[in-house]
Amino acid sequence: MKDAARRDLFHWVGMDVAKATFDAAMVLSHQHYPDTPLRDIPGATFARSREGVAKFLTWLDAFDVNPDEVRVVMEATGRYSSELAVWLLEIRPALCPAIAPPAYTAAFIKSLGVRNKTDRLEARALGFYGVERTPIPYEPMSAERAELRELNRYRDQLVRQRTAMKNRRHETCTSAFIQKNQTKRLRLLTGDITRVEQAMKELIEAHPELKRDMELLCTIYGIAFLTAATVLAELGDLRRFTYARQLTAFTGMSPSHRQSGTSIHGRSRLSKQGNPRIRQALYLSAMIAIKGDTPFRRIYRKLIAQGKPRMVALVAIMRKQLILMRAILISGKPYQPLGITPSTRGKQHKKRINFA
């Protein structure tokens, strides 16, 4: 009953966001599909710009509803949706725009039995998604964290390009010109990666909060600059997660079970519904952590001795590192495992936290 009352509290505007435009459709709180057909939902198209947002608000105000009882939901489309959400928050914060994962919205729209696919139709379906699911509001990152994420992702692109170029060099090639050109491009890519990493370090150095968080994360064995930067850039402030299990679920580090009746008992696997960049970074850091004389290595060996597969044990270390990151940021104290004095820890991590 409480959930039903909460759903009936707000009217929802579904938005289908493209590069240049966005479609909006207004679904009132008492409207439900299929009692209200999609074709009966009013909608309009606007330019994806600040001027377009202003025209959208004029269109929205024409409805006979309380502006404080209207919410907005859109599907995640990268920068297009996040930028639009920021404009909405700047002009009318009461809209509390939500950005829903595409997998969730696609499954919901499919459940409606919609046979066609148009921007206006999806905007209407997203309005019903808001009424039924009441997604949580979008929390924009600070400007410095958003810039750090752009730099980190650009570095990832350069690293992938360099790896592809290195792999192509192993192919049989008799042309001296091609070999010379590939060597030149490798040097250019390596130089670009170095410059991007330097820009990331300068950005963190210029913001005391980011610098403090970076230094705290780098006190964990196996966590170095790039891993910490990826976590800070992709997840934002880890303190915003009320519980550790929320963080692990958000990053796709929680287990996914497969069971049906008495005949199907599938092996538990990672849900992998979160950001893959986080799992990639944690995988590399966990590989380092289990090689040193650390609690991580002892936990890893204990799990192996219990008969756990090596990958399962390694994922457990990844999850423990992630939970530990959140814990030390909340406490504001460096990581100090049992048996390691502060002076010893300082020697172990001196090189890694000196990122300026």
Q: Are 10 and 69 spatial neighbours (Cβ–Cβ below 8 Å)?
A: yes
More confident residue, 293 or 170: 293
Q: Are 203 and 305 spatial neighbours (Cβ–Cβ below 8 Å)?
A: no
Measure the CA–CA gap between 199 and 192, rounded to whole angstroms: 11
Tokens of 2: 């409480």
276 and 301 assigned to the same domain = yes
- Taking the CA atoms of residue 214, residue 353, residue 278 and residue 169 in that order, the dihedral angle to the nearest 10 degrees is 140
Tens digits of residue pLDDT in 28-71 = 998 888 888 999 999 999 999 999 999 999 999 999 999 999 99
Q: Are 222 and 285 spatial neighbours (Cβ–Cβ below 8 Å)?
A: yes
Burial 39-54 (b: 16+ CB within 10 A, else e): eebebeebebeeebbe
Write down the residue that tokens 């287990």 correspond to: 255
202 and 111 assigned to the same domain = no
274 and 179 assigned to the same domain = no
Reference 126, options 107, 111, 99, 105; nearest CA is 105
Tens digits of residue pLDDT in 176-235 = 888 888 899 999 999 999 999 999 999 999 999 999 999 999 999 999 999 999 999 999
Q: Is the pLDDT of residue 352 over 80?
A: no
244 and 309 assigned to the same domain = yes
If pLDDT is split at 50, 70 and 90, which confidence band does 11 have? very high
Q: Which amino acid is at 193?
A: I
Q: pTM value?
A: 0.80
Among residues 133, 157, 177, the one where a domain terminates is 133
Write down the residue that tokens 């952590």 correspond to: 289
Tokens of 215: 């230094």
pLDDT for residue 345 = 46
Measure the CA–CA gap between 282 and 321, rounded to whole angstroms: 8
pLDDT for residue 6 = 52
Reference 297, options 314, 279, 278; nearest CA is 314
- The CATH number of the domain holding residue 57 is 3.30.420.40
Q: Where are the beta strands (DSSP E) in 231-355?
A: 255-260, 264-270
Reference 248, options 320, 296, 300; nearest CA is 320
Measure the CA–CA gap between 156 and 174, rounded to whole angstroms: 30
35 and 129 assigned to the same domain = yes
Measure the CA–CA gap between 77 and 185, rounded to whole angstroms: 32
pLDDT for residue 216 = 96
Q: Is the pLDDT of residue 347 over 60?
A: no
More confident residue, 347 or 126: 126
Question: 55: which residues sit within 8 A by CB, 6+ positions away?
Answer: 46, 47
Element (H, E) at 46: strand 43-47
57 and 113 assigned to the same domain = yes
If pLDDT is split at 50, 70 and 90, which confidence band does 263 have? low
**Mean pLDDT, all residues of the chain:** 88
Write down the residue that tokens 């859109």 correspond to: 74
- Residue 91 resides in a domain: yes
70 and 113 assigned to the same domain = yes
Tens digits of residue pLDDT in 170-180 = 776 778 888 88
Among residues 76, 102, 133, the one where a domain terminates is 133
Among residues 133, 158, 193, the one where a domain terminates is 133
Q: Is the pLDDT of residue 240 over 70?
A: yes
pLDDT for residue 8 = 62
- Residue 261 resides in a domain: no
Q: Dihedrals φ, ψ of 220, to 5°?
A: -80, 130
Question: 181: which residues sit within 8 A by CB, 6+ positions away?
Answer: none
The number of beta carbons lying within 10 Å of the beta carbon of residue 187 is 10
pLDDT for residue 264 = 64
156 and 36 assigned to the same domain = no
Question: 151: which residues sit within 8 A by CB, 6+ positions away?
Answer: 196, 199, 200, 203, 233
- Residue 156 resides in a domain: yes
The interaxial angle of helices 225-235 and 276-289, nearest 10 deg, is: 150
Q: Is the pLDDT of residue 167 over 50?
A: yes
If pLDDT is split at 50, 70 and 90, which confidence band does 265 have? low
157 and 272 assigned to the same domain = no
How confident is the model over 250-267, as a mean pLDDT? Answer: 72
User: ∠ CA(297), CA(300), CA(305), 5° rounding?
Assistant: 125
How confident is the model over 235-247, as a mean pLDDT? Answer: 91
Tokens of 278: 């986080």
Q: What range does the domain containing 87 cover? A: 2-133
- Residue 164 resides in a domain: yes
How confident is the model over 271-279, as a mean pLDDT? Answer: 83
Q: Which amino acid is at 316?
A: A
First to last CA, the chain: 55
Q: Is the pLDDT of residue 349 over 50?
A: no
In the chain, the percentage of residues whose pLDDT exceeds 90 is 68
pLDDT for residue 41 = 95
How many domains in the chain?
3
